[in-house]
Amino acid sequence: MAYRREMILVIGACGQLGSELTLTLRTLYGADQVVAADIFEPKQADLLASGPFEKIDVLDPKGMTALAARYNFTQIYHLAAVLSATGEKDPKFAWRLNMDGLFHVLDLALACGVSQVFWPSSIAVFGPDTPRQQTPQHTVMNPSTVYGISKQAGEQWCAYYFKKHGLDIRSLRYPGLIGYKSLPGGGTTDYAVDIYRKAAAGKPFECYLHQDTYLPMMYMPDAIKATIDLMQAPARNISIRESYNVSGMSFSPSEIAASIQKILPSFEIAYNPDYRQQIADSWPQTISDQVARQDWGWQPAYDLDAMTADMLENLQQQLP
């Protein structure tokens, strides 16, 4: 078989995960082989400077087909989505963007002979009827947000395209992702990024979740590693074609505040729960990722205190 040079498209490349994943993929595959694409122009100078950028809208299948014709992509990472908190403000738009966007990518991948697709799912696929401790890979789901419903349906479509068309699509159920390079946009777990930014700037933080709301979270280097490890695993090791549970750590707002106070003792937090509390209360507190560990050797590296030290150091370096 003729060797096909890898050509990778990252859709949603300006987002919290996309901006860091794009840079990692460029170091792995070569800068000119990874095209960053988004509906927004990048604010991150390194993203624009380090390789090609294309403006695209996942709701415009013609524009995406034209782009694919120019680049001959072998892999697509489709990260564009409306997250849980924003999704509740305009549920129909969230459904349209999350579902139609996925269909456009899956159909494009089939039409253009793309060999691999990555699509993120979320712990939001679980709902109030799900066991909240050590949530298993296969369990009751019944999500309560439009974001969760779209991710659960999307998982089933990914498995369907794999079974029906042989498309090698892989997916992770990310917990809340925490990083210092970009801001998250519209999730329920965003407080866990905002709290570090306030603490690093020497400011107090008002949290929109109750102090003992435990949620599964993951530090960005672990999330990037999980994504690349999954995509590089041999296809014979992939037993889950919906989406894999992956776990990093779990903590509550009072525990993250205590972790910050070990380094910045004067840091102050207050609690003022809003509509996001109900979303958080419907999600698991801890996740079992046994299947990911068995299938492709998943193992997180960071715990809460290691993440806190790294986040604060990097955010303080970024201060003007």
- Contact residues for ligand AKB, defined by CB under 6 A: 83-84, 122-124, 147, 174-176, 187-189
Residue with tokens 């986040």: 311
Question: Which CB sits closer to ligand AKB, 34 or 311?
Answer: 311
Q: Which residue is nearest to ligand AKB (CB)?
A: 187
145 in Cβ contact with 87 (< 8 Å): yes
Q: CA–CA separation, 64 vs 83, rounded Å?
A: 22
246 in Cβ contact with 225 (< 8 Å): no
We find the least distance from the C-beta atom of residue 121 to ligand AKB, in angstroms, to be 8
We find the least distance from the C-beta atom of residue 188 to ligand AKB, in angstroms, to be 4
Q: CA–CA separation, 237 vs 292, rounded Å?
A: 10
DSSP state of 96: I
Q: Which of 77, 147, 180, 214 is catalytic?
A: 147
- Structure-block tokens of residue 308: 């806190």
We find the least distance from the C-beta atom of residue 96 to ligand AKB, in angstroms, to be 17
Whether 147 is catalytic: yes
286 in Cβ contact with 135 (< 8 Å): yes
Question: Which CB sits closer to ligand AKB, 36 or 172?
Answer: 172
Q: What torsion, rounded to 10 degrees, do the Cα atoms 267, 268, 273, 279 define?
A: 10
Question: Which CB sits closer to ligand AKB, 177 or 199?
Answer: 177
We find the least distance from the C-beta atom of residue 270 to ligand AKB, in angstroms, to be 21
Question: Which CB sits closer to ligand AKB, 58 or 215?
Answer: 215
5 Cβ neighbours under 8 A, 6+ residues apart: 33, 74
We find the least distance from the C-beta atom of residue 47 to ligand AKB, in angstroms, to be 20
DSSP state of 42: P
Q: Does residue 124 sit in helix, strand or coil? A: helix
Question: Which CB sits closer to ligand AKB, 101 or 187?
Answer: 187
Q: CA–CA separation, 132 vs 115, rounded Å?
A: 36
Question: Cα dist. 44→48, 74, 181, 183, 221 in Å?
Answer: 7, 25, 9, 11, 18
Q: What residues are annotated to the active site?
A: 147
